[in-house]
Amino acid sequence: MNLMKQSEQNTESIMDKMHEHEQLVFCNDPATGLKAIIAIHSTTLGPALGGCRMRPYRTMDEALEDVLRLSKGMAYKCAAADVDFGGGKAVIIGDPLTDKTPAMFRAFGQFVESLNGRFYTGTDMGTSMDDFIHASKESNCIVGIPESFGGGGDSSIPTALGVIYGLKATNKVVFGTEDFSGKTFTIQGLGKVGFKVAEQLLEAGADLYVSDINEEAVAAIQERAKQLGSIARVISGNEVYSVVADVFVPCAFGGIINDETIEQLKVKAVVGSANNQLFLEKHGESLKQKEILYAPDYIVNAGGLIQVADELYGYNKERVLSKTRSIYTSLLEVYRQAELDDITTIQAANRLCEKRMEDRKRQNSFFTHAKRPKWDIRK
Ligand code: NAD
C-alpha cells in the first residue's frame, strides 16, 4: 500500500513537471538503438537551447526526471544570460563508453531537425563534439561544434572568464576591491574550467588552495604557480570545505553546499562554475545566515552558454567575451536586489529570470518556425 502511494506520488510529481513543459519528444530508432527524450520547457524567449546528455539511465522515469529538471534549469540560465533562447535539454539513454555510434547521432540529428528550429543542442555529460559533428550532418540546429565546422570551439574558455568576472564582482561587494592580489581562493576541481580559473588567479597575484583527484592537474598548477613565483598549496578532498580562505571556488561537481559542508565553511563567499552547487534551495538561506555571499551558479557559469548561443549569430569571439564580461554587472544586480528585498541571492536570481520570461510573454506568443531568427546564417 505504502509502495503504491509512493509510486502514485512520484508519478504525480513527474506529471506536474511534464505539465510545466511546452513539449516532450520521445525518440526511438531501432535501427541505430537510439532511445532519447527531448524536453522543451519554454520557447518564450526564443527557440529552446540545451545540451544533450548520454547516461545509462536505469529506467525511463529516471531519464524523464533528469531531462525535465535540466530543461527547466536551461530556461532560467538563458533568461539570466539574456540570450534570446528558451530552455530545453535532451537525454540519450545508453552507456557513452559502449553504446555510441555515429549512426545513432545522425538519427538523433534527424529527430532534432524534425522540430523545425524549435530546439538547438550540442554536447553535455557523456557526449562530445565529435558526436555532434555526426548530428550536424542531419540538422542545422546543432551548436558547440569545433571552429573548423563553424562553431566556437572550447566553451570552457568563456566559462572560466565568466567565473573570473563573477569573482571580481563578489570581491568588490565583500572586500571593496576587484583586486585579487593578496586574497586566498580555494579551488575544488582543476579540470577544463577550474584550471583556467586557477591560472588567471595566480597571474593576478592571488594565493590558492587547490584540490583535485587528478594528480596530473595538481602537478601542472603547481608548476604554473612556480613559473609565476606564487604558491598553490595542495589540500585533500575534505579540507576544501574547512580551510580558512577568502573565497571557495567549486569547479568540480554539484550538491557541495549542504548541511555538512556549510558547518565547516570559513570563507566570505562561494563563487564557482559547478552546476547545482546548492544541494537544496534552503542552503542558500543557510549561507546567508552565516554571512557567506553566494554567487548563483547559473549566472556565473553562463560563459559557455553565451558562446554556443552566439554560434547562431555567426560566431564572433569578441562579442562572446564582451557579453561574458557582463556577468559582472548581472551579478552585482542580483546582489543589490537580494539585499534590498532581504532574500537570498538564489531567490533574487530566480525572480529576475521569472520576470524576464513574464515580461516577454506579454510581448509575444511561443516560438514558431515563422519566427526563426533572421540571423541564423546557416539556413
Ligand atoms: P571537468 O570534467 O573538465 O573538470 C572537473 C574536475 O573535477 C576534474 O579535473 C576532476 O578530476 C575533478 N574532480 C572530480 N572529483 C573531484 C573531487 N572529489 N575533488 C576534487 N576534484 C574533483 O569539468 P569542467 O568542464 O571543468 O566543469 C567543471 C564544473 O563546471 C562542472 O560542474 C560543470 O558542469 C560546470 N560547467 C562547466 C562548463 C564548461 O564550459 N565546461 C559550463 C558550465 C558549467
Q: For 340-370, give the secondary structure using H, E and C.
A: HHCCCHHHHHHHHHHHHHHHHHHHCCCCCHH
Question: Rounded to the nearest whole angstrom, what is the distance from the C-alpha of residue 251 to the centroid of ligand 1?
Answer: 5
The single residue of 77, 89, 100, 268 carrying the catalytic annotation is: 89
Long-range own/partner contacts, residues 130-138 (CB < 8 A, 24 or more apart): 131/100, 131/102, 131/105, 132/52, 132/105, 134/102, 134/103, 134/105, 134/106, 134/109, 135/105, 135/106, 135/108, 135/109, 136/109, 137/106, 137/109, 138/106, 138/107, 138/109, 138/110, 138/112, 138/113
Which residue among 128, 213, 306 is best mutated to probe the pocket of ligand 1, counting the most ligand atoms within 8 A of its Cβ?
Answer: 213
Question: Rounded to the nearest whole angstrom, what is the distance from the C-alpha of residue 317 to the centroid of ligand 1?
Answer: 23
The Cα 98–Cα 105 span in angstroms is: 14
Is the CB–ligand 1 distance for residue 192 below 6 Å?
yes
Is the CB–ligand 1 distance for residue 275 below 6 Å?
yes
| Residue type at 198 in one-letter notation | A
Nearest CA residue ID for atom 29, ligand 1 = 274
Nearest CA residue ID for atom 9, ligand 1 = 191
Question: Rounded to the nearest whole angstrom, what is the distance from the C-alpha of residue 193 to the centroid of ligand 1?
Answer: 7
Question: Rounded to the nearest whole angstrom, what is the distance from the C-alpha of residue 272 to the centroid of ligand 1?
Answer: 10
Question: Rounded to the nearest whole angstrom, what is the distance from the C-alpha of residue 212 to the centroid of ligand 1?
Answer: 10
Is the CB–ligand 1 distance for residue 251 below 6 Å?
yes
Is the CB–ligand 1 distance for residue 261 below 6 Å?
no
Give CA torsion, residues 60, 65, 67, 73, to 10 deg: 180
Which residue among 156, 163, 240, 277 is best mutated to probe the pocket of ligand 1, counting the most ligand atoms within 8 A of its Cβ?
Answer: 156
Neighbours of 152 (CB within 10 A): 23
The secondary structure of 231-285 as a DSSP string is -EEE--TTHHHHSB-SEEEE-S-S--BSHHHHHH-B-SEE----SS-BSSTHHHH
Is the CB–ligand 1 distance for residue 299 below 6 Å?
no
Neighbours of 354 (CB within 10 A): 13
- CB within 8 A of 270, min separation 6: which ones? 247, 248, 249, 250, 257, 277, 287, 292, 293, 294, 295
The Cα 192–Cα 304 span in angstroms is: 12
C-alpha to C-alpha distances, 259 to 12, 170, 294, 317, nearest whole angstrom: 28, 23, 15, 41
Comparing CA positions, the residue from 137, 114, 140, 58 lying closest to residue 91 is 58
Strand 119-120 to 48-49 pairing: parallel
Angle of helix 327-341 versus helix 156-175 axis, rounded to 10 = 40
pLDDT of 12: 57
Task: For residue 185, give the 3-state DSSP assignment.
Answer: strand
Nearest CA residue ID for atom 27, ligand 1 = 193
pLDDT of 367: 58
Is the CB–ligand 1 distance for residue 344 below 6 Å?
no
Residue whose entry in the numeric block shows the C-alpha cell 553562463: 302
Ramachandran sector of residue 68 (left: φ over 0; alpha: ψ -120 to 50; beta: rest): alpha
pLDDT of 171: 98
- CB within 8 A of 14, min separation 6: which ones? 61, 64, 65, 68
Catalytic residue at 361? no
Task: For residue 88, give the 3-state DSSP assignment.
Answer: strand
Set of cell numbers at residue 19: 505539465
Burial 109-123 (b: 16+ CB within 10 A, else e): bbbbbebebbbbbbb
pLDDT of 149: 85
Is the CB–ligand 1 distance for residue 155 below 6 Å?
yes
| Residue 188 Cα: closest atom of ligand 1 | 20
pLDDT-flagged residues of the chain (< 50) = 1-10, 374-375, 377-379
Comparing CA positions, the residue from 43, 72, 81 lying closest to residue 364 is 43
C-alpha to C-alpha distances, 201 to 181, 198, 247, nearest whole angstrom: 8, 5, 12
| Residue type at 256 in one-letter notation | I
pLDDT of 374: 46
- CB within 8 A of 136, min separation 6: which ones? 109, 142, 145, 149
The Cα 160–Cα 215 span in angstroms is: 21
What DSSP element (H or E) covers 219?
helix 215-227
pTM above 0.85, yes or no: yes
